[in-house]
Every structure is written in C-alpha cells, then in structure tokens.
C-alpha cells in the first residue's frame, strides 16, 4: 500500500518558518503563525500516531512544530517588551527613541 503525505505537513513547516520571520512585524504575525502551526501540528501528530505506517512527512511536522515554538517564544518576548515600553514611556517616548536611533545612522 502506498504511503500518503500527512495533511498540512508542508503548511506546518511554512507556518513555522513564517512565525520566526513574523517576529520582525512587532511580534503579532509571529504569534499568529506560531499558534496556527502548533494547532495543525497537533492534529497531524494525532493522525500519525494513530497509523504511522500509512503516512510519511512526519519530519516536516516535527521541524515545523519546533520552528513554531521558537517563533512563538521570540514573538511573545517582543510583544511583552513592547507592552512594557509603551506602558512606561508611552508612544511619544517610543517615537523619540526611534528618531534618536535613526539619527545615529
């Protein structure tokens, strides 16, 4: 019998990569892609553990899950740091800080 590729195995890998890249977009996209990848990975893992002899592509699921966890952690830390910055110095202070950084270049 021919093995089937796990549904969404490639999508999980792509979302895991996008969760790491998405942390550069103020962390919001990284959190979204990371959570979606983890939910899809959970479903794919359940399907694979049920019948491992029927499916292939589990390595993509594992890799995507690891990348999603890393991206989710980095994005969450970035979001938390932005929340701390905005609550302590506010938006005007943040924009002043950005202008100072841009002036250095």
Per-residue pLDDT of the chain (105 residues; tens, 9 = 90+): 688 998 999 999 999 999 999 998 888 999 999 999 999 999 999 999 999 899 999 999 999 999 999 999 999 999 999 999 999 999 898 899 889 999 887
What span, in angstroms and rounded, lies between the C-alpha atoms of 38 and 53?
23
What pLDDT was estimated at residue 2?
Answer: 84
Q: Residue 65's pLDDT is what?
A: 96
From 1, 4, 40, select the one nearest 19 (Cα to Cα): 40
pTM, entire model? 0.86
Rounding to the nearest 10 degrees, give the CA dihedral for residues 58, 62, 13, 1: 0
What pLDDT score was predicted for residue 105? 79
pLDDT score for 1: 66
Q: How far apart are CA 42 and CA 37, in angstroms?
A: 9
pLDDT value of residue 25: 87
């Amino acid at each position: 019998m021919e093995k089937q590729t796990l549904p969404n195995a490639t999508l999980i890998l792509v979302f895991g990569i996008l969760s790491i890249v998405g942390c550069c977009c103020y962390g919001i996209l990284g959190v979204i892609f990371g959570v979606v990848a983890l939910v899809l990975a959970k479903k794919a893992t359940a399907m694979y553990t049920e019948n491992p002899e029927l499916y292939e592509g589990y390595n993509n699921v594992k890799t995507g899950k690891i990348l999603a966890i890393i991206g989710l952690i980095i994005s969450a830390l970035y979001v938390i740091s932005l929340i701390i910055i905005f609550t302590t110095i506010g938006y005007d202070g943040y924009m002043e800080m950005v202008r100072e950084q841009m002036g250095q270049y």
